[in-house]
């Protein structure tokens, strides 16, 4: 297999494989030639990648699940090993490394072109950058972990969006649990910090996993006497902001910043001795998280 990076030719010793009309390439050679680092952990059959754009990826041989910047995504194929080399699809490899790629089957050459990061300018907004690169605001937010749609002139944004992220975003936003979780977080902490939003959602997931509460997100939220917005119409009217959406996705991917907490309250509003008798897990913003 031959390789070009920004029109500079390289010769790779490893072959590429065509399987089910898809081209698979040796991930180590691709990553290292594009400036990244890679390590292999044989005891768990995993490869760890770090890229020039400060992304981290973890693949497990024989499994379609992968971690991309500590978030779980599902590929449509599983990485495999041939002659002690790990292979993934060419298209995935390029997208993970913030590059475009073209394949020439005649010369057996993969041509990679680095996609530069975008430098935020004064007056830029998510909407304007989204239009400039024909990428949705939700995907830009997810790709760059943007909080509260805040952009700062001089910072850089990644604008190459991996297909697995596009597919997941569509699937996630149709997920009833995601929709409901986003709505309740918006009502309870929509205008607080991201960590507060994450904590509210974490309490709900802690309840789902506790035998003393219902075992679904919907039943926890609608349990009698627990979340008034679920019964007074506020939940139905809730329109989650980008930060809340990011928090809900993180929670459904397993993040939890108040492990063990089953309740939260605002001590400036709630004065009952019952709440102060509970064990404090963490105090974030206006709320105390307790069990």
The better pLDDT of the pair 24, 175 is held by 24
Rounded to whole angstroms, how far apart are CA atoms 109 and 87? 16
Output the pLDDT for position 187.
95
pLDDT band at 171 (very low <50, low <70, confident <90, very high): low
Could you read off the pLDDT of 176-203 as tens digits, one per residue?
Answer: 888 999 999 999 999 899 899 999 999 9
Reported for 109-113, long-range contacts at CB under 8 A and 24+ positions apart, including other chains, are 109/1, 109/2, 109/3, 109/4, 110/1, 110/2, 110/3, 110/4, 110/16, 110/23, 110/25, 110/30, 111/3, 111/4, 111/7, 112/3, 112/4, 112/5, 112/6, 112/30, 112/34, 113/6
In this prediction, residues 158-179 reach a mean pLDDT of 79
Residue % of the chain over a pLDDT of 90: 51
In this prediction, residues 156-183 reach a mean pLDDT of 82
Could you read off the pLDDT of 124-149 as tens digits, one per residue?
Answer: 999 999 999 999 888 898 899 887 77
Residue 210 has pLDDT above 80, yes or no: yes
The 3-state DSSP class for residue 50 equals strand
Output the pLDDT for position 220.
95
Residue 167 has pLDDT above 90, yes or no: no
Domains, the chain, ordered by start: 2-114 (3.30.457.10), 118-157 (3.10.350.10), 176-290 (1.10.10.2520)
Output the pLDDT for position 267.
87
Residue 179 C-beta-side C-alpha neighbours within 13 Å: 8
> Minimal CA–CA distance to 204: which of 261, 266, 288, 277?
261
Output the pLDDT for position 137.
87
Output the pLDDT for position 207.
94
Output the pLDDT for position 259.
92
Q: Which DSSP symbol is given to 15?
A: P
- Average pLDDT of the chain to the nearest whole number: 89
Q: Which DSSP symbol is given to 169?
A: H
Residue 170 has pLDDT above 60, yes or no: no
Residue 205 has pLDDT above 90, yes or no: yes
pLDDT band at 169 (very low <50, low <70, confident <90, very high): low
């Amino acid at each position: 297999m031959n390789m070009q990076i920004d029109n500079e030719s390289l010769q790779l010793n490893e072959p590429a494989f065509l399987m089910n009309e898809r081209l698979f390439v040796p991930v180590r050679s691709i990553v290292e030639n594009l400036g990244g680092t890679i390590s292999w952990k044989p005891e768990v059959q995993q490869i760890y990648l770090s890229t020039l754009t400060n992304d981290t990826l973890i693949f497990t041989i024989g499994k379609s699940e992968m971690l991309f910047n500590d978030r779980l995504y599902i590929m449509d194929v599983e990485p495999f090993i041939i002659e002690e080399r790990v292979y993934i699809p060419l298209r995935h490899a390029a997208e993970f490394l913030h590059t475009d790629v073209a394949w020439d089957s005649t010369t057996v050459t993969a041509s990679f072109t680095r996609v530069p990061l975008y430098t935020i300018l004064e007056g830029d907004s998510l909407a304007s950058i989204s239009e400039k690169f024909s990428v949705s605001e939700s995907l830009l937010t997810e790709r760059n972990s943007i909080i509260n749609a805040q952009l700062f002139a001089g910072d850089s944004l990644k604008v190459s969006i991996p297909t697995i992220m596009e597919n997941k975003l569509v699937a996630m936003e149709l997920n009833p649990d995601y929709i409901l979780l986003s709505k309740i977080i918006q009502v309870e902490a929509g205008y607080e910090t991201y960590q507060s939003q994450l904590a509210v959602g974490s309490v709900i997931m802690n309840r789902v996993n506790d035998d003393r509460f219902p075992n679904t997100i919907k039943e926890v939220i609608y349990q009698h006497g627990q979340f008034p917005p679920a019964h007074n119409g506020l939940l139905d009217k809730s329109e989650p902001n980008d930060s809340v959406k990011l928090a809900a996705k993180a929670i459904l991917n397993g993040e939890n910043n108040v492990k063990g907490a089953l309740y939260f309250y605002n001590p400036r509003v709630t004065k009952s001795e019952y709440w102060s008798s509970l064990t404090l897990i963490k105090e974030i913003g206006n709320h105390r998280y307790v069990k």
